[in-house]
Amino acid sequence: MVWSYYTRIRLLAAVVAAVVLLPVVGVAVAGPALLFDPENGAVLYAEDQDDAWHPASLTKLMTAYLTFEALKQGKITLETKFPVSEVAHSQPPSKIGLPVGAQLDVDHALQALIVKSANDVAVILAEGLSGSLDAFVERMNTTAKRLGMSRTVFMNPNGLPAQEQVTTARDLAKLTRAILREYPEHAPMWSLNDIRIGRVHIRTHNQLLKAYDGADGMKTGFTCDSGYNVVATATRDGHKLAAIILGEPSGAARSLRAANLLEHGFQYRAWQDVLQPVTLDTLELPPDFNTVATSVRQFVPGPACGGRREQTVDKVKAHKKRLVAAQLKADAVAKSVVPVTEPANKSATAPAAPTAKRAN
């Protein structure tokens, strides 16, 4: 039997699903996910990889890519300094908050962009490299097309909410692969746990760097509509894998899902040879992908995003506690009425047990 590319990847996905458990209690839906080999582009797992999604701070991957490109072309150096404009200073957090007129060198700007996910620094780099935000965004979109990111549209360099700014897990994988293959000299930046800018000590948002064996990058992102996103890479025995996770309800959930996928990839890479998996370029477009970005705001805990899910989780926990207490009480009552001796007539028909009401 000759399977189509998409049938083969769906089969591989089923194998992964049978092995990788994602025990995130209470999550109603899971966002797109993609596990792939950056070296050859082989796809090990794909779920809703072509659904439109808001990239949030994963946008900064492109901002970093264009900065690396300018460095390689000799247009700037790591010591080049860019000024802080009023536009950059006005960006909302996360930011480093330098005053208008201050200057920041490219080296520290890249570190702050990656580790702090600083929105003001993204604008500093954009204006410094292209002269204006509009010109830089145009370069972002031109570069996205060149890299084959056919379903990506950029509206700003930092990923702050913009309805038209969308991407897909597949497109982000193509960008990730380009960064890793074209600019390996900057790989240490993606694995930084913390940095210092002046007297300020900044720690990474990427908890996988501390918790997952072999983790070495790359970038996290979050807005209420996009949920918690991450592009995560890890290397074991000289082999690197990358996972794209979009739309999780918490930072812990995105780390767990990424770790599970990466762990599966390292343990079951032999499936690549058995099933001859497709690549990022040859993976067929699913017939039912979403062309409009999904919002997961209602599933993200906290008052900033509406708090609906947080309230639901609290109610579920309270309900479970009541059920446990009721069960314990019922068990105690049952034990107290168990006869100490067997009835004289063993052949007598035992009374029917009471039928419990079904809980809805």
- Length reported for the chain: 360
The Cα–Cα gap between 7 and 338 comes to: 57
> Which phi and psi angles does 321 have, rounded to 5°?
-65, -40
Token couple for 173: 């994988």
* 53: nearest Cα among 295, 244, 254: 295
Rounded CA-CA distance 52/137 in Å is 19
117 as an active site residue: the answer is yes
With vertex at residue 327, the alpha carbon angle to CA 324 and CA 333, rounded to the nearest 5 degrees, is 145
Tell me, yes or no, if 250 is annotated catalytic.
no
User: Rounded CA gap, 287 and 26, in Å?
Assistant: 28
Token couple for 89: 């200073």
* Sign of the dihedral through C-alpha 287, 291, 293, 298: negative
Measure the CA–CA gap between 126 and 130, rounded to whole angstroms.
Answer: 6
- Residue whose token pair is 């890249």: 110
For 202, the 3-state DSSP assignment is: strand
- Record the tokens describing residue 41, joined without a space: 């582009």
d(CA 59, CA 54): 9
CB-based burial of residue 269 (10 Å sphere; 0-12 exposed, 13-18 middle, 19+ buried)?
middle
- In 3D, which of 167, 65, 189, 186 has the Cα closest to residue 125? 65
From 60, 95, 116, 219, the catalytic residue: 60
**Is 90 one of the annotated active-site residues of the chain?**
no
Q: Looking at 94, 117, 226, 255, which residue is catalytic? A: 117
Catalytic site residues?
57, 60, 117
